Amino acid sequence: MSEARTVVASAAARLHLGFLDLNGGLGRRFGSIGLAMDGPRTRLSLRHSVAQRAQGPDKARAEEHLAALAARASLGNSYALTMHEAIPAHAGLGSGTALALAVAAAFRRLEGLRPDTRDAAALARGERSGVGIAIFRKGGFVVDGGRGPATREPPILVRLPFPRSWRILLIQDPARRGVHGDEERQAFATLGRFGEAQADRICRLVLMQLLPGLAERRIDAFGTALRSIQECLGDYFAPAQGGARFTSPEVAAALHLLEREGAHGIGQSSWGPTGFAFAESETAARRLREALRSAGIGPKLDISIRRGVNTGAEVEIEEPRRAAAL
């Protein structure tokens, strides 16, 4: 055991762009669409220590994961865990999965253990969507096949690179949180049955418009399909979101202005409150952001321009001299 060695893990946020089939009539349910982004990120460092300690944002959740992993591996070592950055929790950006898998990756690298795909399930990840797990591993634009009777982890059906020139306008509302935890489970239990025709339409939009638009770099087709998918799902989830398609009225106002100004594929990631829109270039994205500022919409919102990420999480060993500066 080397006390000086430090492992640093960094994982990207993800957008959850929608479900394929909440009806489940064919024997599989959910199925998700997701995209890795270059920020916000979760970044942590882990090393052996004479006493257990943790510091930084979201340290409580990180400590829980670390304790579960150590117990599962039957190890009694003590660790120093530092959270340098954390994706905002319950904002629709996949913070829980990124954190859990980053802790697991750092732990296994530090202890010289082989990667284990069962860590995700052991840490209660992938209950519905598999895109967060897939994005952690490889990044990109991902579609998973949902959960069937014998599914351990939703299978990845499609992974495509996100165009380097396209941009994501990310609209965050720090004053609100999306549905999560037991509240989320209750929402799924009480929402009415999702229509079979709606699920059919979403799957057709994904296969025949969204994915071809992405593969051919046609942002109009991509955005039109995504907007339609988001409208369908937003109407279904509205009863659990105060009767609206978007959790945050401020985010909704920003997104509608962006659409009027020419943005593509507006929507809400997961339960929100974070919203998104797409632009074909950095120049177009900056123009759209300036339109929001000029209109005075969303002064309390965090509006940023993001890129897609086509690689997975980074896990590296820091040499002792560098680790001392962390």
Residue 16's CATH number: 3.30.230.10
Which pTM does this prediction carry?
0.91
3-state secondary structure of 169: strand
Q: Considering only CA atoms, which of 171, 167, 136, 189 is closest in space to residue 249?
A: 171
Core vs surface per residue 167-182: b (16+ CB within 10 A) or e:
bbbbbbbeebbbbbee
Tell me how many domains the chain contains. 2
Domain co-membership, 194 together with 129:
no
What's the DSSP call for residue 235?
Answer: H
Domain co-membership, 134 together with 217:
no
d(CA 59, CA 192): 37
What's the DSSP call for residue 59?
Answer: H
CATH of the domain at 214: 3.30.70.890
Domain co-membership, 101 together with 207:
no
d(CA 100, CA 271): 20
8 A C-beta contact, residue 273 and residue 204: no
Domain co-membership, 130 together with 197:
no
Domain co-membership, 63 together with 183:
no
Domain co-membership, 319 together with 282:
no
Domain co-membership, 17 together with 57:
yes
Cis omega (within 30 of 0) for bond into 273: yes
Domain co-membership, 109 together with 222:
no
**Half-sphere exposure of 47 toward its Cβ, with a 13 Å CA cutoff?**
20
Residue 320 in tokens:
């002792």
Domain co-membership, 319 together with 259:
no
Domain co-membership, 142 together with 182:
no
Amino acid letter, 176: R
First to last CA, the chain: 20
Q: Considering only CA atoms, which of 8, 43, 109, 3 is closest in space to residue 318?
A: 8
- List 29's β-bridge partners, or say none: 147
* Domain containing residue 136: 1-161+309-326
Domain co-membership, 155 together with 174:
no
Tens of pLDDT, residue by residue, the chain (326 residues): 445 689 999 999 999 999 999 999 999 999 999 999 999 999 999 999 999 999 999 999 999 999 999 999 999 899 999 999 999 999 999 999 999 999 999 999 999 999 888 888 888 887 788 999 999 999 999 999 999 999 888 999 999 999 999 999 999 999 998 777 778 788 788 888 999 999 999 999 999 999 999 999 999 999 999 999 999 999 999 998 888 999 999 999 999 999 999 999 999 999 989 999 999 999 999 999 999 999 998 788 999 999 999 999 999 998 765 544 44
Domain co-membership, 139 together with 61:
yes
